[in-house]
Amino acid sequence: MKYAYFAGGCFWCIQPCFEQIDGVSSVTCGYSGGDEISPRYEDVKAQKTGHRETVKIEYDESKTSFSSLLDVFFDNVDISDGDGQFIDRGRSYTLAVYYTGADEKKEAEAAVAALGCRGTVAVEAFRAFYPAEEYHQDYYKKEPEKFVCELDLSGRIKRKMRKNMQKVYDFLKSAGTYFLATDDEGQPRVRPFGTVNIFDGKLYIQTGKKKDVSKQLHKNPKAEICAFKDGRWLRLACELVEDERVEAKKSMLDAYPDLRGMYDENDGNTEVFYCKNATAVFSSFTDAPETVEF
């Protein structure tokens, strides 16, 4: 077994991100980066010890890798914030990767350089790890309701949802054409689509009220979208909800000016729908599926 150490802000929030990975056998909350031996939570939080809240990850390198753990780390933190993470402020909540060897150092530094976050994510040699008090371990399992509230108040959930939505948007946009499946009184209907837009924090598609797809979505908003690009495919299941605001329609048509020959935000026909309760799965023949929600 191998160990990896990451400081990602509040350890309550970052611990479950790693525990769900195949090959990870345990994740322990604790403290690293400071000089004081066996620090207490109250002192770390008060910025008295120089430590950061850190997670220690025990993993089987035949099933996962340090590089994969790095990806998970960066996917769940805000690399633009060098003074803490979300509502938690101070050095103890800043970001760091603690390497235990030359290979880890090289990978961490390369990732930080590629992401352009040298000033906000520290790459430091591992010195010591001190497990946090027992009540901090597996907090998300012990206090699930409080944990969700903590995530929500911190802004982590909203950021994660925005990031997931952007990933789906980027894939659909780059694919150019995708396929939308709807229900027509028990009969599946599939047709090619090409419009996708982000407006007011939501992912939208566009059609016309005169089309059958509009009628089907109003009867049953559940739909699936599928797209393929460069050996990868996306399947998106969601509810498509109409947004009658002129601003939403205008934003879509501004993103696709060629459509203005057929549509106008004030024509009574243009219609936009946004994705609600969306689950997207990215797949390929070579990599494990990746599921995101927004």
Task: Check pLDDT > 90 for residue 94.
Answer: yes
Written as one letter, the residue type at 86 is: F
Domain(s) labelled CATH 3.30.1060.10 in the chain stretch across: 2-154
Task: Check pLDDT > 90 for residue 153.
Answer: no
User: For residue 52, which of 77, 72, 75, 69 has the smallest C-alpha distance?
Assistant: 77
Q: Give the integer Cα–Cα distance in Å for 61 and 205.
A: 42
Q: Determine how β-strand 121-125 pairs with β-strand 95-99.
A: parallel
User: For residue 59, which of 94, 117, 100 has the smallest C-alpha distance?
Assistant: 100
User: For residue 253, which of 268, 276, 270 has the smallest C-alpha distance?
Assistant: 270
| pLDDT, averaged across the chain | 96
Catalytic residue, candidates 10, 13, 17, 238: 10
Based on the residue annotation, tell me whether 117 is a catalytic residue of this protein: no
Q: Give the integer Cα–Cα distance in Å for 285 and 267.
A: 45
| Res. 152 pLDDT band, cuts 50 70 90 | confident
How much is the pLDDT for 155? 87
What is the rounded average pLDDT of the residues 76-82?
A: 95
How much is the pLDDT for 5? 98
The dihedral sign for the CA sequence 282, 283, 288, 289: positive
What is the rounded average pLDDT of the residues 178-207?
A: 97
How much is the pLDDT for 150? 86
Owner of token pair 């699930």: 144
DSSP code at position 132: P
Written as one letter, the residue type at 81 is: D
pLDDT digits (tens, 9 = 90+) for 234-270: 999 999 999 999 999 999 999 999 999 999 999 999 9
| Res. 107 pLDDT band, cuts 50 70 90 | very high
Are the C-beta atoms of residues 7 and 32 closer than 8 Å to each other?
yes
Domain(s) labelled CATH 2.30.110.10 in the chain stretch across: 163-293
pLDDT digits (tens, 9 = 90+) for 193-228: 999 999 999 999 999 999 999 999 999 999 999 999
How much is the pLDDT for 135? 95
Are the C-beta atoms of residues 217 and 273 closer than 8 Å to each other?
yes
Proportion of the chain above pLDDT 90, given as a percent: 95
What is the rounded average pLDDT of the residues 109-124?
A: 97
pLDDT digits (tens, 9 = 90+) for 17-38: 999 899 999 999 999 999 999 9
The residues, ordered by sequence, that sit 6+ positions from 287 with a Cβ below 8 Å of its Cβ are none
Task: Check pLDDT > 90 for residue 116.
Answer: yes
Are the C-beta atoms of residues 226 and 179 closer than 8 Å to each other?
yes
Fold classification of 163-293 (topology level): Pnp Oxidase; Chain A (2.30.110)
Written as one letter, the residue type at 285 is: F
Polymer length of the chain:
294
The dihedral sign for the CA sequence 188, 191, 194, 199: negative
Task: Check pLDDT > 90 for residue 288.
Answer: no
C-beta neighbour count of 249 within 10 angstroms = 22
How much is the pLDDT for 272? 98
Q: What are phi and psi of 33, to 5 degrees?
A: 95, -10
Fold classification of 2-154 (topology level): Peptide Methionine Sulfoxide Reductase; Chain A (3.30.1060)
List the Cα angle 8/12/18 in 5-degree steps.
Answer: 65
What residues are paired with 225 via a beta bridge?
Answer: 180, 236
Q: Give the integer Cα–Cα distance in Å for 26 and 11.
A: 14
| Res. 80 pLDDT band, cuts 50 70 90 | very high
